[in-house]
Structure 1
């Protein structure tokens, strides 16, 4: 079983969620989980002005995702920050390059799942995941979310991301908040759940 966690992270918030999802997937016997970052589209000077250059350099050891690698996975978890209630442009550009896979039906029957991050509690965590799903459905993927068997998404004692659509985190307006333990637990649960569903489909 091979799970790919394909992500874009500007400041490291989404990377932490992606790491947790991969760790959860590896809890399923016989499963390997690998991180892949989508190609950056912003010039280095822009990243420097945004204060993101150091974080980007810290992710340089993670291989860059390629379209050709996607069909080698049994399941793919996508993780993206929110941009006006939608996925970020870097992720959109990467997915827009998968037309050949669509034409070949290369992703049909594979499990697809999505996680997100937004600056504020109501900044589009859910809409980002929901607007991501049509791309997976067009590719013929089996969409898997975060079931309510993960009790942490029903918590009301703290501000937290997470919905039945997928795990999510809140970064704060200045990126000052990293994923909470509950949000990381949601990502781990989702990773494990995705791997379990993919294993059942494989059998």
Structure 2
């Protein structure tokens, strides 16, 4: 039974990365972790959201999901991020939140957090890998421990083979092209296992 505290932090405009976060939550609960699913604050103007029915519907459907705070980062032993690609990088909503973490970083409270990341894009070469790596760049500055899935399980190959973090292509109808559910669950389980080892080593 794990005693890892896991924060799953996501940004999602139409629901893909929220679904990835939910799959990660399912696997983490089975693994015995204490889990929080948290969204970053929306920065887009209401007019932009209102102009896209899928975006508007998702915002309304996830009003119950709490917004992440710095206290959640301090609480967590491990963190899984899930974000869409925006021109080959993380969306502004996630970047804005990460930019507020300087105080925790300066106090050394983000060091040795075990982190992992997932992403999505509208086409198979739309920047998923680069988006994950852009998140990891911040994590290296934190002094966090990156728990990339690598090729540690057959589900990685079945889902498209991204060793940096599970990623998925989303078609024009909002459907996931690759079957990534099992890969997400493996990544979550692996993140928890590594966090457990880190906690044991720190005792």
After TM superposition, is the score higher than 0.5?
yes
Q: Which residue of 2 aligns with 1:9?
A: 12
For residues 133-152 of structure 1, the C-alpha deviation after alignment (integer angstroms, 9 at most, x for no partner) is 11001011000111312212
Shift of 1:175: 4.5
Shift of 1:27: 2.3
Report the CA distance shift for 1:161/1:33 in structure 2 as closer, same or farther (over 3 A).
Answer: farther
Q: What's the counterpart of residue 64 of structure 1? A: 67
The CA RMSD over aligned residues, in Å, is: 1.4
Q: Which runs of 4+ in 1 moved over 4 A?
A: none
2:168 paired with 1:166: no
CA distance in 1, matches of 2:68, 2:15: 17
Select the residue among 84, 94, 98 that pairs with 2:87: 84
Residue 38 (structure 2) aligns with: 36
Query: What is the TM-score normalised by the length of structure 2?
Result: 0.92
Partner of 2:192: 195
- Which ranges of structure 2 fall in alignment gaps of 5 or more residues? none
> Equivalents in 2 of 1:125, 1:49: separation in Å?
26
The TM-score, its normalising length taken from structure 1, stands at 0.92
Q: CA deviation at 1:161?
A: 4.1
Residue number among 103, 106, 118 corresponding to 2:109 in the alignment? 106
In structure 2, how many angstroms separate the alpha carbons of the residues matched to 1:14 and 1:36?
12
What is the alpha-carbon distance in structure 1 between the residues aligned to residue 93 and residue 160 of structure 2?
A: 22
Give 2:175's aligned residue: 177
Out of 123, 132, 137, the position equivalent to 2:135 is 132
Change (3 A) 1:162 1:116: farther
- Gap regions ≥5 residues in structure 1: none
**Which digits, 9 at most, give the CA deviation of each residue in 1:178-202, with x for residues without a partner?**
365x311111111111011101111
2:124 equivalent in structure 1: 121
For residues 30-75 of structure 1, give each alpha carbon's deviation from its aligned partner in whole angstroms, at most 9, with x where no partner exists.
x111100000001222101133111111111111111222010000
